[in-house]
Amino acid sequence: MLAVPLVPTILDATLPQRPWDPAETSAEQVLTITDGGNIVVVETPKGWEALDQGDTAVLRGGDSRVLVEAYDLGQRDPVAVAERLIRLHRIEGIASALDGGSIASSDGTLAGQTCVVVTQSATGTCAFLHDDEVIISVVVLSHPGQPAPPIDQVVDLITRQSQ
Amino acid sequence: MTALAQPEQAATPIRQPLIYRPESAVFWLYVVALSAGAFGLLLGYGIAVHETMAAQIALGPVWLVFIVFLIWLMYQFDPYRSVRHYPQVLVAGTALGGTTACSSALRGEDALGGVLARYIDPDTLTLWQNALTAPFIEEAAKGLCAAVILVLCSAVFNRVSQALLVGMFVGFGFDVMEDLTYTTKQALSSLDSDLSGAGGNLVVRIVTSIPAHWAYTSLVTVGILVLLPTFADRARWTWRRRVFVAAVLLAAGPFMHFVWDAPVPDIPMKFVINVVVFAVAVFLLLRYERHRIIERIAAERGSARLDGVDSAVLDSLPTLRTRRRLRRQARRSGGRAARKAVKFQQREALDLVQAAEGNSA
């Protein structure tokens, strides 16, 4: 009975981790695709690494990590959706709160609100960006003493791609 | 028709404790497994369930109807009333399935998913992860819990039909708790509201509950029983027969589960395949039980134990159809009261025949 949870757990803990994709140039991209088929492109900065998890992209560089999640917005209110995502993140151990700021991507296609975030061991900034079809949660985390890249720089890495 | 059975002659179930047996190591294994499973679930999902409790309470009537319907449905697979006197065993199986099996399977699946993510492309894994983890991890977890119940209660739970029901209830407990975790996750991740996320998911789980965990685990549990030394017919089955039947049934449960979780074929075809596999297996298993009951009736007919039982009642026992036919005859000759009396006699006679076996085993 112990083997059912323990054998996979031990294998997961001991086998070599899945390799991250290092960005040799600044043009490496990760596509995150929502259930509805909307595509969000996340560019990996040079020297960073990326992990494609389907509808989620994780980037890491130095002590910093960037988590990008994309959802279909539909006809929903982006503010209400952002509040639900804040609660979901809190249950998952990432506590955040809107800080009253607003933000837009440099090409103007995505806009939204900024927030601050804290976990048990890291702090950072976050944002909820949206257009008419998708809402994107961006969380930037870093350890104390190792400042994370500013949220506006991270947001500029994210663009929408037509289906 | 002769009135049946004085009270002192009636089939009385074994009154010794079946679950609470502190003299048995298996009882303590049960206690530890149940506690660890409950603690694991609480640790993993307690906060999330608490967060969405209002939606679950609002869905309470739906949950209740779903649970009552499944219990009724599962009892339909016990036409010989082989477990009717021991509901505590089924409750114990449900509890173990809902805690230990659920907790260990969810943990094991997450970890196995992490292992597979190292070797399989993320988009492919998204499609196949459930099919590549759940049929093996979940059926192993539920099957082992069912084995604990079969060993703990081996004094009375040693027949094919009893294993079938134990497996169903272990799978049922697992299903309800898994549904609770799924609806909780969906409530949290719904972009609209807890109620729409949980409610939508619960409806899907109800619609797809036939056949589901209760069916998969019933076949696996019969497969486990025929390999156990406590199996009532062990002496009559050759080892080749036991191994063959066990292999087929131990594969059938995970196969049905795999068919359901795989991205292909489409939903109607999955449903057809699983219903056919389950129906064929249950038909063969209950046919075996019917032959067994017929043998028992033949062996016990005329014995002191069945002294007061009408021969026509005994003859009517093997199938639901023959039982109904006798009741119809009784209604035609004596009205509704006679029909009811025959129904009572049939139940008593079934219990007597099986109690005779239990006492002679």
Across the interface, do A8 and B115 touch by the CB < 8 Å criterion?
A: yes
Whether A6 maps to a domain, the answer reads no
In angstroms, rounded to a whole number, what is the distance separating the alpha carbons of residues B95 and B218?
16
Flag the least confident range among B30-39, B199-208, B212-221, B301-310: B301-310
A54 and B105 in contact by Cβ < 8 A? no
Q: ipTM beyond 0.90?
A: no
Residue B98's pLDDT is 97
The DSSP string of B99-153 is IIIHHHHHHHHHHHHHHHTTTS-HHHHHHHHHHHHHHHHHHHHHHHHHHHHHHHT
Rounded to an integer, the average pLDDT of B63-92 is 96
> Which pLDDT does position A39 carry in this prediction?
87
Task: Please identify every stretch of chain A with a pLDDT value under 50, giving residue numbers as ranges.
Answer: none
Residue pair B354/B10 in contact (Cβ under 8 Å)? The answer is no
Interface contact B112-A87, CB threshold 8 A: no
* Residue from the list B33, B107, B192 with its beta carbon closest to the beta carbon of A9: B107
Q: For residue B130, what pLDDT band results from cuts at 50, 70 and 90?
A: very high
Question: Choosing among A2, A4, A136, which should be mutated to test the B contact, i.e. which has the most B CBs within 10 A?
Answer: A4
Q: A7 contacts in B (CB within 8 Å)?
A: 108
What is the per-residue DSSP string for B252-310? HHHHHHHHHHSS-S-HHHHHHHHHHHHHHHHHHHHHHHHHHHHHHHHHHTTSSTTTTS-
Kindly report the length of chain B.
361
- Looking at CA atoms only, how far is residue B193 from chain A in angstroms? 8
Tokens of B108: 């094991």
Q: Give the pLDDT score at B5.
A: 41
Residue of A52, A71, A91 lying closest to B188 (CB–CB): A91
Tell me what the mean pLDDT of segment B202-217 comes to.
94
Average pLDDT, rounded, for chain B: 92
The pLDDT of residue B185 is above 60: yes
At A163 the pLDDT is 64
**Residue numbers in A near B117 (CB within 8 A):** 18
Domain region containing A122: 24-161
CA of B291 vs chain A CAs: smallest distance (Å): 35
Provide, as residue numbers in chain B, all residues whose Cβ is less than 8 Å from the Cβ of A5: 103-105, 107-108, 111
Number of domains, chain A: 1
Per-residue 3-state assignment (H helix, E strand, C coil) for A102-141:
EEECCCCCCEEEEEEEECCCCEEEEEEEECCCEEEEEEEE
Q: Please say if the pLDDT value at position B76 is more than 90.
A: yes
Q: Amino acid identity, residue A60?
A: R
Place of tokens 């395949």: B273
First to last CA, chain A: 47
The stretches of chain A forming alpha helices (DSSP H) are: 3-14, 78-91, 151-155
Q: What is the mean pLDDT of residues B288-307?
A: 88
pLDDT given for residue A144 in this prediction? 80
pLDDT in tens, B14-56: 567 889 999 999 999 999 999 999 999 999 999 999 999 999 9
pLDDT attached to residue B12: 58
Dihedral (Cα; A148, A151, A155, A156), 10-degree rounding:
-80
Confidence of residue B2 (pLDDT cuts 50, 70, 90): very low
CB nearest to A54's CB, from B108, B111, B122: B122
User: Which pLDDT belongs to residue B6?
Assistant: 41
pLDDT band at B7 (very low <50, low <70, confident <90, very high): very low
A84 contact residues in B (CB cutoff 8 A): 190-191
Residue A8 to residue B104, Cβ atoms within 8 A? no
Contact A8 B190 (CB under 8 A): no
Residue A144 in domain? yes
Nearest CA-CA partner of A64 in A156, A151, A136, A158: A151
For residues B261-284, give the mean pLDDT. Answer: 95
Residue B80 is predicted with a pLDDT of 93
Interface contact A5-B117, CB threshold 8 A: no
The pLDDT tens digits of the residues spanning B230-242 come to 999 999 999 999 9
Query: B115 and A15 in contact by Cβ < 8 A?
Result: yes
Instruction: Please give the structure tokens belonging to residue A13.
Output: 């803990």
Tell me if chain A has a CB within 8 Å of the CB of B127. Answer: no
**pLDDT at position B360 over 60:** no
Mean pLDDT of B311-339: 93
* B178, B201 Cβ separation under 8 angstroms: no
**Under an 8 A CB cutoff, do B191 and A76 touch?**
yes
| Helix residue spans in B10-101 (DSSP H) | 25-51, 53-58, 60-75, 87-96
- The CA dihedral of B53, B54, B58, B61, to the nearest 10 degrees, is 30
Q: Which residue in B61, B48, B260, B88 sits closest to B175, CA to CA?
A: B260
A8 chain-B contacts, CB cut-off 8 A: 108-112, 114-115, 137
CB contact under 8 A, B118 and A15: yes
The CATH number given to whatever domain includes residue A40 is: 3.40.1000.10
In total, the C-beta contacts within 8 angstroms joining chain A to chain B are: 69
pLDDT at B225: 98
Which one is predicted more confidently, B57 or A34?
B57
> Which pLDDT score is estimated for B17?
87
* 8 A C-beta contact, residue A112 and residue A77: no
